[in-house]
Amino acid sequence: MISDLHFNRSGGWIEVICGVMFSGKSEELIRRVRRAIIARRKVQIFKSHLDERYSGIYHISSHDGRTAEAVPVDTPDQIARQVADDTQVVAIDEAQFLGTSVVPLVTSLADRGVRVIVAGTDTDFRGEPFGAMPQLLAIAEVVDKLHAICVKCGNPASRNQRLIAGRPARYDSPTIMVGSAETYEARCRSCHSVPRKDEEQLVL
């Protein structure tokens, strides 16, 4: 894990924490933010509103009592408007839900000296690149890809398995389903199932 890397330079940079759901991205983001708070950096945390139904909006506290709270946002513009001039660290969770304008946003923050920590799921339920994550991975100075545990076989999981009524969701179901009854499991490549639209939804 390269996450403790310290850039011995005055400028900003971009670090991305990616991987499947349940791989510990939010835990790692929180760990880095907590350490930045301990280092007395001014930190602001943002999180896509879309994720609220899964894990809620969190706040992070250090042992000496200083806290930072994740601000829910819908768009990168809302982040741009709220970042204070003296903020040194900006953390963004669930970045895959934000539009492509997250790329120029994090670029301009890093260019003006901010350390930007971005966490997001890099692949959608089909196993294909999700939102602006590919661009974020390309422009970042540091990338960590985390894995969960496959709930079927116990190997490292690299895929998000979407289930609708307990069955693997078909390839043509929408990338983002809001307010619906789908659930997700972490699975490895060989246990991951995405039936094509002309296939039965098999129970695996």
Active site residues per annotation: 94
Least separation in angstroms between residue 12's CB and ligand ADP is 24
- Please choose, out of 17-25, 69-77, 80-88, 137-145, the segment that lies near ligand ADP by the rule CB under 6 A: 17-25
Site for ligand ADP in 86-125 (CB under 6 A): none
Identify what 153 binds: Zn ion, ligand ADP, none; CB under 5 to 8 Å per kind. Answer: Zn ion
Collect all residues with Cβ–Cβ distance below 8 Å to 4 and sequence separation of at least 6.
Answer: none
Residues that bind ligand ADP (rule: CB under 6 A) add up to a total of 13
Torsional class of 57: left (φ above 0), alpha (ψ -120 to 50), beta (otherwise): beta
Could you give the 3-state DSSP secondary structure of residue 175? coil
Does 186 sit near ligand ADP (CB under 6 A)?
A: yes
188 binds Zn ion (CB under 5 A): yes
- Hey, what's the torsion of the CAs at 107, 118, 54, 187, to 10 degrees? 120
Instruction: Report if residue 55 touches ligand ADP, rule: CB under 6 A.
Output: yes
H or E segment to which residue 44 belongs: strand 43-48
Residue 22 in contact with ligand ADP, rule: CB under 6 A = yes
Single residue of 150, 163, 169, 194 touching Zn ion by CB under 5 A: 150
- Minimal distance in Å, beta carbon 189 to Zn ion? 8
CA–CA separation, 111 and 93 (whole Å):
20
With CB under 5 to 8 Å by kind, the binding choice for 149 among ligand ADP, Zn ion, none is ligand ADP
Q: Please give the Cα distance from 13 to 17 (Å, whole number).
A: 13
What letter would DSSP give residue 10?
A: S
**Distance in angstroms (rounded) separating the CA atoms of residues 54 and 17:** 19
Q: How far is the CB of 171 from ligand ADP (least distance, A)?
A: 23
Stretch of 7-15, 21-29, 81-89, 101-109 contacting ligand ADP, by CB under 6 A: 21-29
Partner in contact with 55, chosen from Zn ion, ligand ADP, none, beta carbon below 5 to 8 Å by kind? ligand ADP
Rg over CA atoms, the chain: 18
Q: What is the DSSP string of 80-108?
A: HHH--TT--EEEEESGGGS-TTHHHHHHH
Site track for ligand ADP across 147-176, x = CB under 6 A: -xx-x-------------------------
In one-letter notation, the amino acid at residue 74 is D
Residues that bind ligand ADP (CB under 6 A): 19, 21-27, 55, 148-149, 151, 186
